[in-house]
Amino acid sequence: MNSGFPSPVPRPASFRRVGVYRFLAILTLPVLLLLGATCILIMYHLADIEKLAADTNEKRLPGILAAQRTLINIENMRRNVAMIYNAQDPRLRRNALIDALALASESVFEPDSGFIDYARTAEPLIRSLSEAKSRSDEAADSLHNEELRFSNANGRLLLRAGLPDVPHMAHNARYLSSDTDIAQDAAHSEHIQELLFPLQTLCREVPSDDPALRDDCDRFKSSWNALTAAWRQYVNADNEARALWRQLDELLRKLSDDASSVEAELTYRAMEHIRTEARRARTAFFMASLLLIGVLIVFVAAVHRSILAPIALASRDLRKIRYGQPTNSIPPVRLRELQDLLDLLPSLSRHLAELSERSGQLEKEKDRYANLSLRDALTGVYNRRSFDEQLSRDGRKVPLALLMLDVDLFKLYNDTFGHQAGDAALAAVAHAMEQSLLRGTDKVFRYGGEEFAVLLPNATEKAARAVAERIQRNVRALALPHPASSVAPVLTVSIGVALRNLGDQADDTELIARADKALYRAKSSGRDRVCLYRPEDGPTARP
């Protein structure tokens, strides 16, 4: 039998196949080797980076820490120098001087000669600053004493002259800390000179007969001159101290910048070695990744060509075989196991075709036997077994009408014409009943002997009666002669109709009993008629 599947394509003698495991081994071996080489290369560079980190920790880190320590010492020295100049408490100033000199001495032991030079320059400047600040404090104290003397002489003179009070000269020059403060205090002194101008005028015009006023004026002039001299002495001393402080601060700032540069340079050198090695590792990893990607592309292409593409073609042909379509030939492949599978497709196609044909025949036989088991062999309508199954399946899900039909005086018909004529009459009656049904859901059953049943799902009383009357007419229309009948000269039927609506508690047995009761009433009322079940119908036996 031709299945539409061609024979395998013949292969040349030189066509060599390999096993699937060997094929996968050949493909994966380069990938594994490349991965191993990449791991070794990366580990080598990581070892170099680790070595550089250890070298940095052992050799360069001490230098970085030393530079950091030097920078901290310089900043502490700047803070102590500022305290020497600005602190008012002599103890704080003395402690700052000791700390600054100690830090300067410690800087002499730095390995950089530049730091040593700076330290040797800073130490005498620190001492000079301390001495200048001491002189400035002494000048400030002297100035303060002169201010008190001047205030005393000034007050006596004001009392004698009867002039208003003049602002007290309480600038206390020891608290001056900048050129701006000195300038403001000098302006204050000039303002006081303007205010004292009336006293100076008074002293120039002292009467000769007032020796006490002249003594007060002399005392006022001498205290003013002493105050002015003390002020100049203080300003000079303070300017000297400020100049030394600025010189030291500039020196230490430059030294701090140099120390920061040294620390930054050491850190940069240490990190640059690590960055260089990291760049090498990154480049090596990038190149290895590119090579690995290339090998993987070749691997995927080989797998696709040798495995996936033939499998896809085989899958396509299997779908065609499934739907009975003709298939195309598949080119030979190098994988032995896959080629063996592809070689099985022609025989598989033939077997499937044979199985399909046999399955079709079996289905036909099955349908035939199923039909025989549910159909009456004589009349061709459904049998009693089918009636019971249909009635049980419909259950109480839908309203149901049941027609029970009996051929009137059929025993006399058999006695008159014989059993063969009786069988033909039953078949004709069954056919007439089927022709009377209009819906596909309505079915005719042979209940037993000359009795038939009709099931009408979703039928109302009116519709069920109409179907029964149509059956009655169609049977009479057959015009089968029945001379022995006392009902009519032709074959007739009696029909009982029973309905079970939704919510009715009657079971299947009760429904059949109701139809039997209605049939009994139809037969006892003269036959050849249709009767519907009424509750007043009693349970009586069939005639």
* C-beta contacts of 484-490 below 8 A and 24+ residues apart: 484/409, 484/412, 484/413, 484/415, 484/416, 485/408, 485/409, 485/412, 485/413, 486/409, 487/408, 487/409, 487/526, 487/527, 487/528, 488/528
Give the residues across from 453 on adjacent strands: 404, 445
- Sheet of 530-532, strands arranged across: 443-448, 451-457, 400-407, 493-500, 530-532
Residues in a beta bridge with 454:
403, 444
With b meaning 16 or more CB within 10 Å and e meaning fewer, what string describes 211-245?
A: eebeebbebbeebbebbeebbebbbebbebbbebb
Encoded amino acid at 352, one letter: L
Q: Is 450 a catalytic residue?
A: yes
Length of the chain counted residue by residue = 543
The enclosing H or E element of 392 equals helix 384-394
Cα–Cα distance measured from residue 118 to residue 105, given in angstroms and rounded to the nearest whole number: 11
C-beta of residue 139 within 8 angstroms of C-beta of residue 234: yes
Which of these, 381, 371, 394, lies nearest to 444 by C-alpha position? 381
Q: Which SS3 state, helix, strand or coil, does residue 460 take?
A: coil
How far is the C-alpha of 513 from the C-alpha of 502, rounded, in Å? 18
Question: 474: closest CA among 448, 518, 444?
Answer: 444
Give the integer Cα–Cα distance in Å for 215 and 382: 161
Nearest CA-CA partner of 327 in 304, 306, 353: 353
| Separation in Å, CA 136 to CA 85, 223, 231 | 10, 21, 11
Q: Which of 250, 272, 450, 469 is catalytic?
A: 450
| Residue among 40, 52, 125, 26 nearest 85 (CA) | 125
How many angstroms separate the CA atoms of 80 and 86, rounded?
Answer: 10
- 109, with CB counted inside 10 A (0-12, 13-18, 19+), is exposed
Residue type, 272: E
User: Whole-angstrom Cα distance, residue 186 to residue 64?
Assistant: 50
Q: Both tokens of residue 133?
A: 């600040």
The whole-angstrom separation of Cα 135 and Cα 68 is 36
Q: Is 497 exposed, middle or buried (0-12, 13-18, 19+ CB in 10 A)?
A: buried
Could you give the residue numbers annotated as active site? 450
